[in-house]
Structure 1
Amino acid sequence: MLDEIWKPLASVMALVAAVAGALLLHGLVYQLASRTSGAIEAAIVRHSRRPLQLLLALIGALLFLPVLQVTSEAQEVMRRGLALGIIGTVGWAVTALLGIIDDLIAARFPMNARDNLSARALQTRIRVFKSIGIAAIAVITVSAMLMTFPSIRQLGVSLLASAGLATLVVGMAGRSALANLIAGLQIALTQPIRLDDVLVIEGEWGRVEEITNGFVVVRIWDSRTLVVPLSYFVERPIENWTRTGSDILATVSVHADYTIPIEAVRRRLKEILAESLHWDRRAWSLQVTDATERTVELRALMSAGDSSTAWELRCEVREKLVEFLQRFYPESLPHARATIQVVAGAPSQREGQSSTAAEK
């Protein structure tokens, strides 16, 4: 009687001890790894801790499964469940490996540098290929799990053989998954846009925040989010301010009267730029770009290191130029002119009305 109770209990205790030992070993290894300050160790701990923890626990349980005092049918069900868990966890671990590679490249090539064109190009490729890889890993993992069942093994083989086609299922609702995948590959290879690029799209100014295998997330200047399908960027024209570099030329237009002293405004613009912290000292100019029947248009051109700085510089120059005109040349601000010419000997309107009344 005691043997019938003790044997199953001992089996369960052995299984628990195996799982606890695996988790303890995992905890000790990651405790040592977390004490280091390297980027590689930090990325490994952040991404692989959970999947490896579960994988070691499942492997430990599978190794001690034969010593369990249970029926063969129950042991087969448990073995099948553990095998499915291990396959799924391996897929999770491989996905974590892609995350580790992404983090290492982001640490090696940060995008917060002033000239970050090469870093943005590399990280864009990595993010797109990572998204496609995750979809492919999911299809392969599901196929491998199906192949553990003899009755539906053929279905798993068919799904595995068509893994490239199955990855095309991911995409935006109402859009062709094939078009999005091809667009993603085009963006990764030809790079019409990159991460952290400044775009004008649908009349909105924003910065590329994320690129997935289905859409692009653009953060608008007022903190709104614009989600755009990938196929949009290969089918329609877009305005990319940072395609070849982060530096940019900014312009400010001011309308003034024809009496405006252009040379004085040009000297004032030079002083404003010399005092500004937003000007990168590369280029500047002031030109008359238009002349209408009432005003002339002065265009101030100046360079800035990036689009955000250019926006601040434009606002600063515009405000100070308007203040300069208001203070020193108020007569040169736009205004309407009218010339009244009185012809000698012609009766005025009042005199004409009086003579008409006298005749009546």
Structure 2
Amino acid sequence: MRDIIWTVVATVAGAVIALSLVEVTHRIVCRLGRRSRLLAALSRHSHRPLQLVATLAAIRIAVQITTGHGADPYWRRVTLHVIALALIAATAWLVASLLLVVQDRALTRFRMDVPNNRQARRIHTQVVMLRRVTVAVIFVLTVGIMLMTFPSVRGIGASVLASAGVIGAVAALAAQSILGNVLAGLQLAFGGAVRLDDVVVVEGQWGRIEELTLSYVVVHLWDDRRLILPTSYFTTKPFENWTRTGSAVLGTVELDVDWSVPVQAVREETRRFIEGNDLWDERACALQVTDATGGMVRLRALVSAVNAGNLWDLRCQVREHLVAWVRERQPAALPRMRAEVGDGVFASRRFKRNGQEHVDDSATGPDDSRVFGGSDDGRARGETFGSRTEPVEAASTR
């Protein structure tokens, strides 16, 4: 009983001394942290794990010193083993906190709240991936070290190593998809195809990369939904990345109008509206006729903005303004459907002569039906895209 009381007193005294030393060290680091962000982060994140490590180490030393003489009772071995397991876990927690502090300190040098944050997004993506890998490695090593403290586990180590090849093959076959996603996550982190805060279009959805892990990617959609995809998706399927080389992007606004539309007037109105809009970044502004089929003329306005959000709002404003302008200023250019009722002969080919109706089926003018012939330009194009070899008939006569 006297030995047990002495062990308890020594243990409590050791824990108090350890906590006191850690508290003094913490106060000193906090005071120095006023001038150093790294020390401030250390005092904030590593205080609790350091307290636990110091306390467990002091308790273990106290138990070993006070119970080391004489026989080795069973309770002493069990107590020391339990304390050792807790000390290993606490040490792993301390090491992980120190590594996370260093990683967070490295991230503070690269800000993401700036317009041109491409480099910062790449660094943040890589650091986040390394952080997850680091935590996973520390966890696996900690569990392995804790298991090695059991004599029975150390005894079967040789047999485990002997069968490592078979177990590895079975595990690789069973976890093929998981390993594929992990490798895809590492490829995304260091390949640069996609980064955190990138604006992407996947599965027809527009959004930003909110979270990127080793197994899945979270895309924050424009309507606040989250699209969760496996990392292998971004290495096996095509997707759009609007901010891979920069945050500035281009966008289009398309309108279908009648053939009577004054294109130049629409172009001037588009230019006037965009130049007075604060969302435009003054890089691109153009209006072109991109299609003229189906009884409609398709106008496409090209605009630019500093980021995807501004571009979306600018496109909507340009579209709304052009619709209102065409409706109010050019009502004749509104889309319309034309129909002709007759006997099957085109009215444009009918004419009257001497009181009788005739149909003009003659063809006049140059032959424009051939792209690779029929004119000097067509023949030159035909020589360019035609075969460079001689005709078979000409070669056989030689």
Identify the structure with bigger relative contact order (alpha carbons < 8 Å, sequence gap 6+): 1
Query: Is the shorter-chain TM-score for this pair beyond 0.5, marking a shared fold?
Result: yes
> Could you tell me which amino acid in structure 2 is paired with residue 243 of structure 1?
R
Does residue 54 of the first structure (1) align with residue 52 of the second (2)? yes
- Give the structure 2 partner of residue 43 of structure 1: 41
- Asked whether the 8 Å contact 1:169–1:177 carries over to 2, the reply is no
What is the CA distance between 1:25 and its match in structure 2? 3.2
Q: TM-score, normalised by structure 1?
A: 0.83
Instruction: Give deviations 1:59-103, integer Å, cap 9, x for gaps.
Output: 121222234469732222111111111111222222223322331
> Could you tell me which amino acid in structure 2 is paired with residue 247 of structure 1?
A
- Give the structure 1 partner of residue 61 of structure 2: 63
- Give the structure 2 partner of residue 21 of structure 1: 17
Equivalent positions of 1:223-238 (< 5 A) are 223-238=224-239
Does residue 180 of the first structure (1) align with residue 163 of the second (2)? no
Q: What is the DSSP-based 3-state SS (H/G/I as helix, E as strand, rest coil) of the residue aligned with 2:195? A: coil
Q: Structure 2 CA distance, aligned partners of 1:293 and 1:175?
A: 52
Equivalent positions of 1:15-164 (< 5 A) are 15-34=11-30, 36=33, 38-68=36-66, 72-154=73-155
- Asked whether the 8 Å contact 2:183–2:214 carries over to 1, the reply is no
Q: Structure 2 CA distance, aligned partners of 1:134 and 1:122?
A: 18
What is the CA distance between 1:194 and its match in structure 2? 0.9
- Asked whether the 8 Å contact 1:249–1:302 carries over to 2, the reply is yes
> Could you tell me which amino acid in structure 2 is paired with residue 256 of structure 1?
V
Q: Which moved more, 1:186-195 or 1:111-120?
A: 186-195
Q: What is the DSSP-based 3-state SS (H/G/I as helix, E as strand, rest coil) of the residue aligned with 1:153? A: helix
Structure 1 unaligned residues grouped into runs of 5+: 346-360
Cα 1:20/1:67, change in 2 over 3 Å:
same
Cα 1:33/1:272, change in 2 over 3 Å:
farther
Q: TM-score, normalised by structure 2?
A: 0.75
Sequence identity, in percent? 40
Q: Structure 2 CA distance, aligned partners of 1:190 and 1:23?
A: 46
What is the CA distance between 1:142 and its match in structure 2? 0.9
- Asked whether the 8 Å contact 1:147–1:156 carries over to 2, the reply is no
Q: How many equivalent residue pairs?
A: 335
Q: What is the DSSP-based 3-state SS (H/G/I as helix, E as strand, rest coil) of the residue aligned with 1:64? A: helix
> Could you tell me which amino acid in structure 2 is paired with residue 322 of structure 1?
V
What is the CA distance between 1:199 and its match in structure 2? 1.4
Structure 2 unaligned residues grouped into runs of 5+: 356-398
Q: Structure 2 CA distance, aligned partners of 1:184 and 1:26?
A: 39
Q: What is the DSSP-based 3-state SS (H/G/I as helix, E as strand, rest coil) of the residue aligned with 2:217? A: strand
What is the CA distance between 1:183 and its match in structure 2? 1.2
- Give the structure 2 partner of residue 348 of structure 1: none
- Asked whether the 8 Å contact 1:198–1:242 carries over to 2, the reply is yes
- Asked whether the 8 Å contact 2:248–2:308 carries over to 1, the reply is yes
What is the CA distance between 1:229 and its match in structure 2? 1.3
- Give the structure 1 partner of residue 4 of structure 2: 8
- Asked whether the 8 Å contact 1:181–1:213 carries over to 2, the reply is yes
Q: Structure 2 CA distance, aligned partners of 1:195 and 1:258?
A: 46
Q: Structure 1 CA distance, aligned partners of 2:287 and 2:30?
A: 57
